[in-house]
Amino acid sequence: MLFSRVIAIGSMLAMNSYAVATHIPALFSRQNVNPGPVSGDTFIHDPTVVKTPGGSYIAAYTGDNIQLKQSSDRTNWRNVGAAFPNGASWTTPYTNGGKNLWAPDISYHNGQYYMYYSASSFGTSKSAIFLATSKQGLSGTWTNQGLVIESTASSGWNAIDGNLVVDQSGKWWLTFGSFWSGIKMISLDPKTGKRSGSTFLSLAARPSNGGAVEAPFITYKGGYYYLWVSFDKCCQGAASTYRIMVGRSTSVQGPYLDKSGKDMMQGGGTQIISSHGSVHGPGHNAVFTDSDADVLVYHYYRDDGVAQMGINLLRYTSGWPVIY
């Protein structure tokens, strides 16, 4: 998320709890399904969710010092504090002194949680992605492991919205990017979680439309790597035009093509969900595998402009994901 992220989130924090008691998903089109039922503390922005070895769920999201939630059933969520309750002073050179940290990505490997998170300020590419690790994944247990990659005003790309992917051969990669020249990928050292080598790949771009592509997330299913991204404008409340897109490749390094065969480097992408009804600007998604299905988690805005958690299950039809 880039433009107006801090302002939009700050204006919504006072309304960060919204309960949905019951909800039956209604099909608006092949793509636009209502979010599944969630309750409790459901305000969220740029979410990521990981299932713990014990079977519960941890969500992390954009907010002061990275905000955390927990759930025992994937439906009822409660706020459990900040990843860095004592602050994250190492990020302030990129945030103009602010506490608002963006777009965490949590996964579990080698007996611990890895969290890649971004420090920036809206409208600039002076940005950085950092790594923190934790054995528990809870507030106050995270140890900052340092800088992974940074960008400057002259880089031509933006080091935010990081996502760790481990490919089928066990190699680690970090994909990231927002606007400018699009989505990038670098190789990581599995021993440290930090950058390894000089590999710097381009995976997706929008040569037109103002370059509006960001929030990459890569998954693997049935012989294909899927590159999920968000198109268009975030962080405008109910006026947001964000939408979730996807392409696929047989190689983690791409090229990623949409369902019509268009390369995502040329603006391609198959739409998964967009604004409909009272669901405005759904985007910045993550995907995790649960016992019943792959699960898509994202944020969207209510009619009153408050950001909410969206959760839907995924099925695959002819090798393409469909939400339900």
Residues annotated as part of the active site = 46, 214
**Residue 302: what are its φ and ψ, rounded to 5°?**
-75, 175
Amino acid code (one letter) for 30: R
- Contact between 307 and 322 (Cβ < 8 Å): no
Burial of 22 (0-12, 13-18, 19+ CB in 10 A): exposed
In the chain, what is the greatest distance between 2 CA atoms, to the nearest angstrom? 50
Q: Which amino acid is at 247?
A: G
